[in-house]
Structure 1
């Protein structure tokens, strides 16, 4: 399980319309992948540093959605749709989008959009109030029209803010690209893609109701400065293109397994093609073909942790738990910086159902949780390991931690309360159980249930 892991919950994301609060929008799933997350963090690091942001504090998430979209929300949380990552033609396009989204964070646009929503709602109530007065005054047709316009008034007020913010984020993004010596042509070419999408899908739509200002004027404003920045920038290292190729191969293999062989035919012996086919074969339940392809890749690049990770995943998910362990162990030896690699090995060890294996799994999961304290899946695996070791109260606390991390406050409260009964009073673990119990009681009383992360993502900046 580690190559491409879905969170055990979904996060409600903003629709590509207006300013719909995330909890009211269609739910989408986030996906986890050590390799892709590492690549995106590498791409973003110089941009974030140039903007005065701490790269370790900018969280990057991958949304399983085929549309061309990226946004920031809830502070320093940056989201990329899989559609954008797959359809990007160059690393410069992803870097340009990253720079733009960093511009939203630097500009504090989540805060200003919250304020804008307040102003928009004020306009909406004024229009609604005038409508009520018109009806009361004997002009029902005019009153109904005014009341209907209340939402339009809110939208127009809101987009007065967003047009300014998008322009500001564009200019900040260009500044970051210039400071880091990264070509800026990718931001323009990505905006061209968006413009084509707009023409095809929203031809008759009032431009005031779009989440972004029209891209035509934006492209015109960007192009000259982007050309100047690109002309004096050095070409990107070939590593950027290779990492993009591998990221796209992985995404296509996992998300589009049946069409993978069209893009990556058997005659294509490039590393990304073989990677995509190994993943697609696994997804299509062809274990023999998957193992053949990944074994060939490991032979070509024996020091690639993600090839070993995939090898281990294929074996594990085909019930060969013990055989998967050496590959997950090698992946972790080659890269110790990502929590998912620790979880992968721990999960394989837990499947052996021996005391020694569960003790090692506990140690690995502690390390994973140091790197990522809110990893609900790691906490779930910890509960399995501790339960198998007979440490039931600690296992219940780990279950509470897992439930709390994903916003299941009822379950978190139940298991924290159970843990409190059996843990030694006033010890650190007892106090943690007490904290979870108290916090979740408040959340349940206020009616908040669901992913706690999503509850803070109420306004997005695209």
Structure 2
């Protein structure tokens, strides 16, 4: 149980540090299909770097800016803008290789020392912003808060040129070892060519956090030349890149854009999937399901198309059919925490004691495997509340608040859970762990 307290404390620090990034963006894009596709692209690179694909997740942040970064050794974050801008699998794989190198080369050791500095900068900025707001300078307060958040990101996310050079060398080595074309790294950096000549405020965020220079580009070109045309065509990588980018694009871009451009995909199932999502976003449920059926026929047995069917049905408030679709997806991907959580959510939406009792262990397993899924924690809290277990409902809601950095709310609800749950029980101990974690941030 002490390990849970330590985990919560670490997570709180990371959440507080990441807050300005997520706040200005749309948050994490949690989609099992997209994350599976990214894992397929990343796996050979991570193995070449001596990292485990099952322990390093690849996550998408909804943000139009081109950027990628690491916070800890368990995750690589990539902005949606980066994925949508790139044109081939090897470019995206070079991004992953570079960030994996920061993990494998131990650059996060220095970063860990910067966590407290960044956190202190942000907390000071919040206090100054509140003071400015209280004095009547509302616009100035907002500007100050953004400025301080930017400073905190600079403290935490900034790389040195030496680190970038080392990460480039290691990343290129990983690509070559994995049989992936190193030319993707060259074309990636060429996108940012000339950024160093711009004023800092006009530079792309990737250029600000990953120092670029002509020397760095020359080094990457020389490395690519030294490895030669080492990579071979990889139909699997091409497929997962197209599918990941296609699904992300269909959910982010206007449906009209999707209808006009979906034929660019060379894969029948990806075209049909993109069409289904566009129809769904226009509330054309039957057309969406018909398009998705074509995708499922083109790729039978794919759990992620069953999962998408569940999402379309759930968001169309057809809870029973959604539960059946998620159940089918979970049978095909029994260890996928996101599918598990979605199945639980559909059961909670259906309601009834039997379904709620079925949902609770699903959601407990999902949240224990994937702490980043705040929606699953909220659904679990709802399930406990509907079952009349207010102590566990308070506990789970406290954990959700803690994971999002809302320490005041987490503290109140954790204290309530301590008072309601049997002393010494597993739930009571979890509530104590939350209190211990948020105690560090008053």
Q: State the Cα deviation string for residues 51-83 of structure 1 (Å, max 9, x = none).
A: 233333323221111222212224443111111
Shift of 1:366: 2.4
CA distance in 2, matches of 1:203, 1:376: 33
Instruction: Note the 1:381-396 alignment, pairs <5 A.
Output: 381-396=379-394
Instruction: Note the 1:422-433 alignment, pairs <5 A.
Output: 422-433=420-431
Change (3 A) 1:59 1:264: closer
Listed as ranges, the gaps of 5+ residues in structure 1 are: 1-10, 15-20, 120-156, 445-462
2:142 maps to what in 1?
A: none
CA distance in 2, matches of 1:46, 1:269: 23
Deviates more, 1:90-99 or 1:102-111: 102-111
1:227 maps to what in 2?
A: 225
Q: Secondary structure at the match of 1:336?
A: coil
Contact 1:249 1:272 in 2 (8 A): yes
Determine if the alignment matches structure 1 residue 242 to structure 2 residue 243.
no
Listed as ranges, the gaps of 5+ residues in structure 2 are: 1-11, 118-154
Shift of 1:442: 3.6
2:434 to 430, 433, 436: 436
1:99 to 94, 97, 100: 97
Change (3 A) 1:299 1:46: closer
1:251 to 248, 251, 254: 248
Contact 2:394 2:413 in 1 (8 A): yes
CA distance in 2, matches of 1:159, 1:364: 36
Shift of 1:327: 0.9
Q: State the Cα deviation string for residues 242-281 of structure 1 (Å, max 9, x = none).
A: 1111111101110003311221259998322221111111
1:299 to 275, 297, 300: 297
CA distance in 2, matches of 1:91, 1:69: 16
Instruction: Note the 1:124-143 alignment, pairs <5 A.
Output: none
CA distance in 2, matches of 1:426, 1:13: 29
Contact 1:48 1:54 in 2 (8 A): yes
Contact 1:39 1:243 in 2 (8 A): yes
Contact 2:158 2:209 in 1 (8 A): no
Shift of 1:319: 1.2
CA distance in 1, matches of 2:160, 2:51: 22
Contact 2:410 2:438 in 1 (8 A): yes
Shift of 1:343: 0.9
Shift of 1:43: 2.2
1:316 maps to what in 2?
A: 314
**Which structure shows the higher helix fraction?**
2
2:37 maps to what in 1?
A: 39
Q: Secondary structure at the match of 2:335?
A: coil
Q: Secondary structure at the match of 1:396?
A: helix
Query: What number of residue pairs does the alignment pair up?
Result: 387
1:262 maps to what in 2?
A: 260
TM-score by length of structure 2 reads 0.78
Shift of 1:161: 7.0
Q: Secondary structure at the match of 1:56?
A: coil
Deviates more, 1:196-205 or 1:267-276: 196-205
Q: Secondary structure at the match of 2:59?
A: strand
Shift of 1:84: 1.5
Shift of 1:374: 5.0
Instruction: Note the 1:1-400 alignment, pairs <5 A.
Output: 27-28=24-25, 29-112=27-110, 162-195=160-193, 210-233=208-231, 235-258=232-255, 259-264=257-262, 270-373=268-371, 375-400=373-398
Shift of 1:213: 3.7
CA distance in 2, matches of 1:405, 1:203: 31
Contact 1:12 1:24 in 2 (8 A): no
Tell me the C-alpha RMSD between the 2 structures. 3.3
Deviates more, 1:246-255 or 1:283-292: 283-292
Deviates more, 1:318-327 or 1:189-198: 189-198
Contact 1:68 1:194 in 2 (8 A): no
In our comparison, the structure showing a higher alpha carbon Rg is: 1
Change (3 A) 1:56 1:298: closer
Shift of 1:116: 9.1
CA distance in 2, matches of 1:422, 1:117: 35
CA distance in 2, matches of 1:113, 1:422: 40
2:403 to 394, 402, 405: 405
Q: Which has the higher contact order (CA 8 A, sep 6+)?
A: 1
Change (3 A) 1:198 1:309: farther
